[in-house]
Structure 1
């Protein structure tokens, strides 16, 4: 048995809120959270009064892209960035890799690609695409946390979207084994082709109505099938009444948004600045305020990165053309400070941010052994300096390509230490591929 480690902190963020506590760690697990503890021969980590002890974050929306597009990102760089951002578990999306994770053989290829590369733990989404409904149960039994689908073209040919009939078939199949379907919900019939450097044109090409119409169709299928349904990267506050009503009616529906929708504003996006391009797009300040209200009232459940990296060339900085540039923001390392910067300015407590970024994604993905500082959970921890600030330098970020819409911004909150199963991460590759626990 390893020596115990005791973390002493005046700001331990637990499911019940912040408290003064001793967090006792043995054999990779949190053994107890108590007011005081006899150290005996334990290693004692005494945190200063201005440092908070958080659970390691669970980021359930990360595009790692390996194998197949490793020049965009890979397990080594993505998980190093996660560790630097206080994220101890990422859940890898099933597309942007070749082959996509749409059957058990592809999942085995993906797991094999992780060997010797993981700084943190990685779980996996399966994919729901036309013609693979017969593969979904086997993927579920192999441990994927759920199934991602698109309701419009995904941007890569090997991961096509589901039409309405295919969506219904997938949801009926998944409901039969109490699985989870997650959906990129935009309606392609309402999206225009917008080229050029004007951000206003790109924003207008993907209107709120595209999200509203797609989520309406998705919720109709949820009613018909009873399938657990999760809406990814909600950007439009116009969708919140739909989600709120669905929850009030007892439908098994959850939703997430992302740091960029909570912290960035269309009004601040310069023309030609394609580092800000993501789909759905960053909308205006009033929309941002409404998304925060949706988080605070429980309509939105999680905040996760949608870390969607690409090469520098794919962002088309040479032309600044929003139509040609790849849509995606790489922020797995910056999610916590970005959200905390805005939350603190709005008077939102750190414990709520931690719930949205750790406990809620862990619950969603049924990775129930992590995501909280509580007895019996894994000792995945983050030491956070909530009042310190730093200026974002993309060259110092750990993901593969130095692109960030946060470049030059001052963010509040510094991740000082990340611990995985009771071990402090200092560059080791101690992570592992994991399966859902329920």
Structure 2
């Protein structure tokens, strides 16, 4: 599906939107529910990724196809490895077979798991024969995706002796690790995170309770971008969010003050208010703890004709696409002066934004959504726009609610 996005009748926007539950929290809680079936979930994400995760957890044998869902690949690898009697082949899309998983497989095998590669060593598909894991000490590089670490931690309390995880080097994506541990704490699962050592103690049963999923802060980023590109006086209300969020991407509220966007917290929602023009000419930010919002921030800076220097982006090269290269290509089409390395992005301020450029999405939901706010500045096309269903199925409907023209070509 190709969409043509056109400018709203007014860039003064005053609307309210309900955003689906966090994909990150949903997938974690779904796995915990599989381990402790007496748990209930409220406000679960309606994303493709959450649906794939839920479906995969119900399979005991045969092929489990998680399509493009990287989180599901990591979490289910650890889950099936520790489920005695289950035997599956865990696979996904062509892109998924190109995304490395060796570091997690090595760690699980070191704990006594039985995982082998069906094709290329270090990459899916994986043949997993579930076993009772009794070893409880393992190490991982600290600068890898937090999903590898969380995959181990989420399953740890159900291991006979729990888990003691040593992280080697400088830790990245700390908020996502803390999100996982906070959920364990909510279930009264004892854990500790001191220095580079994480411990999770065994717990056979948990109290019956309902876990409420907060709305997705990564999804909120696109509304922050729209607010930043809108007229002063605009305000967008988003629900359901809380001030002390477990999600690392909640740093948006701090970053976007540089773009003149104020975040007002209410009981179950936030209001994004455009109160001023950008307060700086060049944004510099280390996004090692929130890499999923890098695309949105880069596009926002381009739309505001600002410069930016973003670092801590080393995990973007193994996402749904190589996001740094994709940003380089697509922003250049629009007239940007951009350079990228394997972990940084540099954008120089430009005064012109080309119109009617077709943005390729590379099977990456965040490419489609990150570029959509530019419709407040120019008319653009989005190729394969349906890819947003991976995390935010209602995205285009919500764009139309804000006044952006959304026309199928």
TM-score by length of 2: 0.35
1 or 2, which has the higher helix percentage?
2
